[in-house]
């Protein structure tokens, strides 16, 4: 849908008048999974699709929320923009309003809001973070508040914790706010220091494969992994003072691994620390234009997520296994929180059509699900459009 069509939809819904538009992207993580809430490194990039928010401020003391993707609508008093509304999608933007209110900001004017997204929901491409960030960018601009994009990302994360009840790390919101076209974000999730690394893929495409097996992070499995990582830290602390697994080098982890008595918790920690090392190594290989080695590290990431972290499942594993059979696939892995969602693959240009056709056919035969493929473009972070 074009921005002009979105404006028409807004006017159909709320009547004629001036309207402003904002956009924040979904993301795909090239490598560095389940490291963000452990204070480690991640390496995501913003996508060219995401969530749009159209807005018109009003004299009315309420904010109206509507979406072109979802049927539920709500009208909330400006004094009540810090209260959850059941289990509805509006909790994502309301949760962001609530973070501004925590800072002592009061909303004297209301607004009409219309959201639309072309990032697939439930695909693990972070539609929720894109909605949080676009709301933060919109509020910051419309109400002249003046916070920076790092703070907007942190507010989006808090909204997810408190209003969606998912104990996510900072990666998704951070890249949605701070991404840059044709760059990936090498982010230290402990310090929030980051570098924009050029992604130069001559003759290679990033292909996202949607398993159409939706992930549900709020099902409890994600929060369970967070708890297991905290248990690993607690087991290590008598021997090495750490606050998060991200503080351990791989060599340090090997020296204390046997102190984690619970075998499942030990494997969770092994994934996190090895994944942080893989991510650092992968960025070095990309900078040196060693795509083959980058791809090998992607493959290693998936295997660790499958065997040690156990967040892949039949559909994601099938997609990866079928992808690895195709000549011209440099590397392929699950991306996102897991438990369904998408894989990300580096595929040589001449193999893209074969990849889509053969992987799609074989995956559907094995799972009964019809996948969707996207050749990804790396886009900018959250911004005002008009």
Residues taking part in catalysis: 172
Q: Order the strands of the 329-335 sheet from edge to edge.
A: 329-335, 342-348, 204-210, 372-375
- Report the alpha-carbon distance of residue 109 to residue 58 in Å, rounded: 6
C-alpha dist (Å) from residue 12 to 5, 8, 339: 10, 6, 38
Other CB atoms within a 10 A radius of the CB of residue 287 amount to: 14
Residues in the chain: 386
Comparing C-alpha atoms, which of 77, 78, 189, 65 is closest to residue 131?
65
- The contacts of residue 383 (CB under 8 Å, 6+ apart) are 22, 23, 24, 137
C-alpha dist (Å) from residue 275 to 32, 109, 303: 6, 46, 11
Give the tokens for residue 334. 């699950």
> Are residues 13 and 115 in contact, defined by beta-carbon separation less than 8 angstroms?
no
Comparing C-alpha atoms, which of 108, 109, 77 is closest to residue 94?
77
Backbone angles phi, psi at 373, to 5 degrees: -120, 140
**Beta strands, E only, the chain:** 20-31, 41-58, 62-67, 74-77, 110-117, 183-188, 194-198, 204-210, 329-335, 342-348, 372-375, 383-384
Backbone angles phi, psi at 62, to 5 degrees: -140, 160
- Report the alpha-carbon distance of residue 30 to residue 301 in Å, rounded: 10
C-alpha dist (Å) from residue 24 to 126, 174, 239, 258, 341: 11, 11, 43, 44, 20
- Report the alpha-carbon distance of residue 250 to residue 34 in Å, rounded: 16
Q: How far is CA 53 from the centre of its chain?
A: 18
């Amino acid at each position: 849908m074009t921005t002009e069509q979105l404006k028409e939809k807004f006017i159909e819904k709320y009547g004629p008048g001036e309207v402003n538009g904002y956009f924040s992207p979904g993301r795909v993580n090239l490598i560095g999974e389940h490291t963000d809430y452990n204070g480690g490194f991640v390496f995501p990039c913003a996508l060219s699709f995401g969530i749009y928010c159209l807005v018109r401020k009003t004299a009315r003391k309420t904010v109206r929320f509507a979406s072109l993707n979802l049927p539920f609508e709500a009208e909330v008093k400006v004094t009540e923009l810090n209260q959850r509304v059941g289990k509805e999608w509006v909790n994502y933007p309301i949760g962001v309003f609530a973070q501004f209110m925590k800072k002592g900001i009061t909303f004297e004017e209301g607004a009409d809001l219309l959201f639309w997204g072309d990032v697939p929901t439930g695909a693990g491409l972070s539609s929720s973070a894109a909605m949080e960030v676009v709301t933060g960018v919109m509020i910051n601009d419309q109400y002249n508040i003046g916070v920076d994009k790092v703070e907007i990302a942190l507010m989006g994360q808090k909204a997810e914790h408190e209003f969606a009840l998912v104990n996510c790390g900072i990666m998704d919101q951070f890249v949605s706010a701070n991404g840059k076209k044709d760059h990936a974000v090498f982010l230290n999730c402990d310090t929030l220091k980051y570098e924009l690394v050029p992604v130069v893929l001559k003759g290679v495409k990033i292909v996202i494969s949607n398993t159409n097996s939706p992930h549900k992070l709020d099902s409890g499995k994600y929060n369970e992994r967070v708890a297991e990582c905290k248990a690993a830290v607690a087991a290590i602390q008598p021997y090495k003072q750490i606050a998060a697994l991200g503080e351990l080098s791989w060599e340090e982890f090997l020296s204390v691994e046997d102190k984690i008595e619970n075998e499942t918790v030990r494997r969770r920690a092994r994934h996190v620390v090895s994944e942080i090392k893989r991510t650092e190594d992968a960025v070095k290989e990309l900078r040196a234009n060693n795509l083959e080695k980058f791809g090998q590290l992607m493959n290693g990431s998936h295997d660790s997520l499958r065997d040690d972290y156990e967040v892949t499942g039949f559909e994601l594993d099938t997609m990866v296994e079928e992808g690895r059979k195709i000549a011209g696939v440099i590397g392929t892995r699950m991306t996102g929180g897991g438990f369904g969602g998408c894989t990300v693959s580096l595929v040589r240009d001449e193999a893209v059509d074969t990849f889509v056709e053969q992987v799609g056919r074989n995956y559907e035969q094995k799972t009964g699900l019809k996948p969707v493929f996207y050749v990804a473009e790396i886009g900018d972070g959250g911004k005002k459009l008009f």
